[in-house]
Amino acid sequence: MQRRYPIGAEIIGENETHFRVWAPKVKRLAVVSKNKTYPLAREAGGYFAGTANCGAGTHYKLQIDDGAAFPDPSSRFQPEGPHGPSCVVDPFSFKWTDANWRGVKLANQIIYEMHMGTFTPAGTWRAAIDKLSEFKESGISLLEMMPIADFPGRFGWGYDGVNLFAPTRLYGTPDDLRAFVDRAHALGFGVILDVVYNHFGPDGNYLGAFSNDYLRRDKENEWGDAINFDGKNCGPVREFFITNARYWIEEFHFDGFRFDATQTIFDNSEEYIIGAIGRAARAAAGGRSIVLFAENERQETKMVRAREQGGDDLGIRFRGKVWLYLSRPAVLMAGSTSRLAQSRFETRSIRFFSRKPRSDFQLCDRRSGARTDFTRPLPRHDRIAFARSVDSAALSGGRIRCFNAVSLFQRSGR
């Protein structure tokens, strides 16, 4: 069977869908939909696979050992939330118009970090499309979308997602998300996605019903059990996350990722999982250029060094925590390509809540120890965090352009 991805539901013909699931804990696995049951065949390595007579829009669950049924671990959509049935999605039904989009590079970007649920009163991707044109005069060039993996409840930051392949139903359908990215590209904006690969949320996470090896109990982070990237049966777990990154790049045309709290991703494998994910994401992008950011409180310079130098080959490394926001515009002004290309500049960080009066990205010269400005949040993060509304933050295009000009003059010493 020729599949695009190793896991999940894929339409292979008219009214025919192929399913593949990693479930080493299970003896028997079946797809249940509309009072019909389709048993899956056991494969090597703890996988189950098979076809069902169903197509796009079909709701289904996976029944374990003739007993309880659960959502698909790699469900593409959860229309009723994480506790409800999964939904078969046809990724080719959407007609993209961005064939000439060549992607983004880090140099000279102004980045706006957005929470889709509060970006507009409606809090949907479709509503956000109508607002995108307002950004054209602001100078913003790259949109960073906060996590969208589905989670329970009506509201959330997105950092406790449990369905990593399913864009949350709170903001619309998968095709609504595609339409947002497509329109952003048409207007000249890049779109990157904030992804959480350090833990799963506590509510609606059914992975333990299929395998005991997704998590490792010997390591904890501040949100719970860490993910098993280097222990027993870690191969399919690594595959799950690498596939997830490929999926967002290929099926939704995202222009890169911001990796959340990588200091809590424990992996002693020969290739660090975030490096492997980044490599797969770039391959998935093909001719498009993508950018990869990593939040890392330990300031591990390995993450931004080239792979041939023993590094993970990411673009920049963030430092700092974010606590409360409405629509959070951390607008960042990136430095020049020539400066980035100089390998001696390897330490790059951002401090949103710094005791110092300034809060910048910086590059550190390994030979002299001198630091130089790299990017700057605009406006200060705490101003946005505690604003009563988006409008009260006064983020007009004119104010942003004015701040940009002042900031650039300050940095040039004029």
Catalytic residues: 260, 295
* CB contact at 8 A, 258 and 144: yes
Give Cβ neighbours of residue 63 (< 8 Å, ≥ 6 apart).
29, 30, 31, 32, 37, 69
Considering Cα of 115, then 121, then 126, then 132, what sign does the dihedral take? negative
- Buried/exposed code over 38-61 (b: 16+ C-beta within 10 A; e: otherwise): bebebeeebbbbbbbebeeebbbb
Q: What are phi and psi of 408, to 5 degrees?
A: -65, -40
What angle (nearest 5°) sits at the alpha carbon of residue 167, between those of residues 191 and 159?
A: 80
* CB contact at 8 A, 213 and 172: no
By the 10 Å C-beta count (0-12 exposed, 13-18 middle, 19+ buried), 99 is classed as exposed
Residue type, 205: N
- Angstrom distance (rounded) from CA 412 to CA 405: 11
* CB contact at 8 A, 84 and 206: no
Which runs of consecutive H residues, i.e. helices, occur in 197-260? 234-252
